[in-house]
Structure 1
Amino acid sequence: MVHERVLSIGHEHLSLAGHFPGHPVVPGVVLLSEVIETLRRGSTAPLSVTGFPVVKFSTPLRPGEAVTIRVEEEEAGRAAFLCTVQARPIASGVIEFRSGASTQAGPA
């Protein structure tokens, strides 16, 4: 199953305050949070993220750029993701999760 959405992180996002003044970049953790949200929106059951065993940030995401997030479930509990701005890759990797859990897993 493939889940996809397009979004933009605005200049007013709280994570950008002081994050490279004069040359703002969307933090990777914000982008990964949107990857999780894309997967959750496409899921019919609640899920809990258990990890990101592979993540590669290719180029910076600037505030206001329209990023396409594509999450493709490969097997139960595992999906590949790709984030792009037009044809430019921003981030890619693998997300692992459990279905049926109502909260996101935290550190043990």
Structure 2
Amino acid sequence: MFDIGFSELMVIALVALIVIGPERLPRVARTAGHLFGRLQRYVGDVKADISREIQIEDMRKLQQQMADQVRAMEQSVNAQLGSVETSLNESIAQGLADKPAGALPAPENSGDKV
């Protein structure tokens, strides 16, 4: 995170010892350690939240793509069904037009007697 070497740490420790004093230095160091730990946890939580948000956004994009594909498939199936229905209606209409108006279809006899 920071590019601080051993010599820089020694200078910081020496200045802290002079400014803070030997009595309060352990307490200040402990407090600084706790604050640094909190900072690390906070940064870790923020990273995890960002990662989750990215995953959620990816899932939403995938869901939208799948919904678009389903709609396209549904439209394609409906178009196919419409063309089949139209051709069947035309065939039925043509078949009815070919038969005389008074003729009824002969009942089918399958050989079963009741």
TM-score (norm 2): 0.19
Larger Rg computed on CA atoms:
2
TM-score (norm 1): 0.20
More strand by share: 1
More helix by share: 2
